[in-house]
């Protein structure tokens, strides 16, 4: 029997050592890998619904519900699309729709009505930076400067103060002058 033990000594050691090493490996893996990350599925957050009025050279003028963040092109599609004589180059179809926007699609040769295709005026005395950023030519930096100036220097008494306080260049002011207000 001692010859048999001597002959198979390494095999016997391996039979006991391999499962022992595997067990130690599992224990160490659990200890060093840490807990599994917790995944929380919040589902899809529904977008806020807004209403826009589409009129002019469209198939079905009217008020249409949309999701907040949709673009004017989506409103035009909801209205059945443009008529053949629509001047789509006069409308910024890539603009994001805001609640109570009025989108006027002019006919070819027709000049756009003052105030057409504009949403409600943005009050520069009460608007947050994100609202100001929606204006053409006003990005994150300019919106921040407007809010900072309002906080440090007081409320604006007229929209011309945007130029007087040197917050925006004249070219941007020309674009937004009809889109902003200082009143209630």
pTM of the model: 0.42
Q: Are residues 58 and 86 in the same domain?
A: yes
Q: Are residues 145 and 177 in the same domain?
A: yes
Predicted pLDDT of residue 30? 67
What average pLDDT does the segment 137-146 reach?
92
The residue with greater pLDDT, 128 or 40, is 128
| 93 part of a folded domain | yes
Our measurement of the distance from residue 55's CA atom to the centroid of its chain's CA atoms, rounded to an integer in Å, reads 26
Predicted pLDDT of residue 115? 39
- Mean pLDDT, the chain, rounded, equals 83
Q: Are residues 135 and 162 in the same domain?
A: yes
| 9 part of a folded domain | no
Q: How far apart are CA 149 and CA 137, in angstroms?
A: 18
Predicted pLDDT of residue 174? 86
pLDDT tens, 20-56? 888 888 777 766 666 777 787 777 666 688 988 888 8
Q: Using the predicted structure, report yes or no on whether residue 73 has a pLDDT greater than 50.
A: yes
| 77 part of a folded domain | yes
The residue with greater pLDDT, 2 or 11, is 11
pLDDT tens, 172-182? 898 888 788 88
Q: Is the dihedral of CA 75, 76, 77, 80 positive or negative?
A: positive
Paired sense of beta strands 180-181 and 62-67, if any: unpaired
Q: Are residues 100 and 126 in the same domain?
A: no
Our measurement of the distance from residue 171's CA atom to the centroid of its chain's CA atoms, rounded to an integer in Å, reads 26
| 62 part of a folded domain | yes
Domain tally, the chain: 2
- Which of 8-19 are b and which e, b meaning 16 or more Cβ less than 10 Å from the residue's Cβ? eeeeeeeeeeee
Query: For 153-160, which contacts have Cβ atoms below 8 Å and span 24 or more sequence positions?
Result: 155/125, 155/182, 156/124, 156/125, 156/182, 157/182, 158/182, 159/124
**Domain hosting residue 148, numbered range:** 122-181
| Other Cβ atoms closer than 10 A to 75 | 25
């Amino acid at each position: 029997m001692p010859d048999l033990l001597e002959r198979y000594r390494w095999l016997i050691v391996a039979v006991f050592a391999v499962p022992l090493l595997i067990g130690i490996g599992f224990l160490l893996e659990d200890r060093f890998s840490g807990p599994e990350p917790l995944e929380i599925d919040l589902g899809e957050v529904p977008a806020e619904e807004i209403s826009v009025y589409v009129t002019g050279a469209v198939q079905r003028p009217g008020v249409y519900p949309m999701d907040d963040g949709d673009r004017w092109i989506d409103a035009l599609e909801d209205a059945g699309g443009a008529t053949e004589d629509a001047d789509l180059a006069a409308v910024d179809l890539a603009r994001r729709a805001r609640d109570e926007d009025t989108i006027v699609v002019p006919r070819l040769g027709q000049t756009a009505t003052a105030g057409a295709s504009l949403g409600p005026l943005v009050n520069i005395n009460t608007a947050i930076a994100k609202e100001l950023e929606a204006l053409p030519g006003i990005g994150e930096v300019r919106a921040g400067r407007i809010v900072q100036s309002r906080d440090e220097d007081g409320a604006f008494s007229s929209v011309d103060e945007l130029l007087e306080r040197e917050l925006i260049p004249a070219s941007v002011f020309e674009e937004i002058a009809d889109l902003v207000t200082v009143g209630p």
